[in-house]
Amino acid sequence: MLRRRPIRIASSRGKEDSVAMNFEFSKEEIAFKKEVEAFIKEELPPDWEERSLYWPAAYGALPIFEEEFREISDELCHKLGQKGWLTIGWPREYGGMGSMMKQAIFEDVVSYYRAPLGDVSTSISGPTIIALGNEEMKKEWLPRIASGEVRFWLGYSEPNAGSDLASINTRAVEDGDEYVINGQKIWSSGAHIADYAWLLVRTDPEARRHQGATLLIVDNRSPGVTIRPIENICGIHSFNEVFYDDVRVPRKNVVGEVNKGFYCVMLALLYERLIIGIGAFRRVLDDLIQYTKETVHNGKSLSENPLIRSKIAKMAVEIEVLYGFYWRSVWMMDKGQIPELEASVLKLFGSELSRTLANVAVEILGLYGQLERGSKWAPLRGWISLGYLDSISGPIGAGTSEVQRGIIATRGLGLPRK
């Protein structure tokens, strides 16, 4: 072992400046991370390792969709609500900790342990209401969201309106104090386990496409709401079709302004793009590293195979890149900036990495990569084959990769649309 001498070259951080690059967390943030880790390990059931599932940055195999995890999830949500940990990124005046960075740290930890948490209400609806809702709406909804009492589902897509969200047809017509809604949503993830729809509806059919739509909060239990399950390719009931037949909604449930629904949705989409379950990427990598070291075929451990070493190393690099986009996005938000480009690239990169990672994982597993949960001989509880299927969803949901690249190119880089 060679004697290591201290490196004196260029080793100052430059002159004392109030602003300087820093790639470390503060002591407070580090302590917070430890606290979250201790809490989550304590709260998750002892056999969680064997039971849990989740593929990073994918939408189909979330633990909250499993019936057996529902109770654990509700209980966890309730406890987190009490600690104020469901709203870490909210401004202090609304009961949050005012730190998106800490919220990001929290999510990094809990997603590593595949904790069964849903984010829509606390990380999307809440912040959107804070930014664009009126005072009455804030008073009525924020406390309930913060305590983890209410779950929302996102009602955007329709059979004829996926990437082209402006083509929505679900109609809301004014009738006295209420709106009457008729139409249909699809790909309604979690609608069957949520309380309220976060619903984008057409309120002025004469208006130009992105004008004339309104965002409404609609109670799932309203008469006229029919939820029909759709089974995804993972064999999991994650999303639904939801039908609205003369469903009545009070006018006060408008989020933001009437006919300005798209502005709310654009902000909500930005928040949605920050939710990628980043810790689960590290978790997959750690599990794969462990697996390759332990698995011996024909007298050699998989970790000795140069191709496997190279693939795992590449994945480690890409995961690090993802963290770069992640921290930068939340850093910008804490500075009061809107990370429009950064959130798009985070979602784009994360979802595509999710797919690449799944491909690498099944290749490392070889023939075993095809074995499903419950099968004898299935390695890693069949999690990899499930992830391989679920990884199809990442680059499609919440704005396809093609759309994200389009956003980066047009809104970010200023390229013309025609």
Partner 1 sequence: MDFELTEEQKIIRESAREFLLNECPKELVRELDESDEGYSPDLWKKMTELGWMGLVIPEEYGGSGASFIDLMVLLEEMGYNICPGPFFSTVILGSLPIVEAGSEQQKRAYLPRIAQGELKVTMALTEPSAIYEASAIRTSARPDGNDYVISGTKLFVPDAHIADYIICVARTDNGSAGQDRPSPEKDIALFLIERSAPGVKTTLLKTLSREKQCEVLFEDVRVSQDSLLEMRGWQVVQDILDRASLALGAEMLGGAKAVMDMALQYAHDRSQFNRPIGSFQAVQQHLANMWADIYGTQYLIYKSAWNIAAGKPVPREVAMAKARIGQAYRRVTILGHQIFGGIGFTMEHDMHLYHRRSLTGDLLYGDSDFQHERIARELGL
Cα–Cα dist 194/16, whole Å: 51
Closest CA to 211 of 172, 171, 263: 263
AA identity, residue 306 = P
46-54, 186-194, 385-393, 398-406 -> range binding partner 1 (CB under 8 A): 398-406
SS3 category, 126? helix
Beta strands in 60-114 (DSSP E): none
CB of 60 to partner 1, least distance (A): 25
CB of 236 to partner 1, least distance (A): 30
86 binds partner 1 (CB under 8 A): no
189 binds partner 1 (CB under 8 A): no
17 half-sphere exposure, CB direction, 13 A CA radius: 8
CB of 324 to partner 1, least distance (A): 3
SS3 category, 93? helix
9-17, 62-70, 210-218, 232-240 -> range binding partner 1 (CB under 8 A): 9-17
41 binds partner 1 (CB under 8 A): no
Question: Do the bridges between strand 254-255 and strand 152-155 make them parallel or antiparallel, or are there none, so unpaired?
Answer: unpaired
Contact criterion met (CB below 8 Å) for 102 and 29: yes
The tokens describing 257, both together, are: 């302004």
Options 48, 65, 179, 327; binder of partner 1; rule CB under 8 A: 327
AA identity, residue 148 = G
Please list the alpha-helical segments (H only) found in 366-400: 383-390
51-59, 111-119, 325-333, 384-392 -> range binding partner 1 (CB under 8 A): 325-333
19 binds partner 1 (CB under 8 A): yes
Active-site residue list? 272
CB of 33 to partner 1, least distance (A): 13
Residue closer to partner 1 by CB (options 217, 288) is: 288
7 binds partner 1 (CB under 8 A): yes
Q: Give the single-character DSSP code of 161.
A: B
Residues 269-308 that bind partner 1 (CB under 8 A): 289, 292-293, 303, 306, 308
367 binds partner 1 (CB under 8 A): no
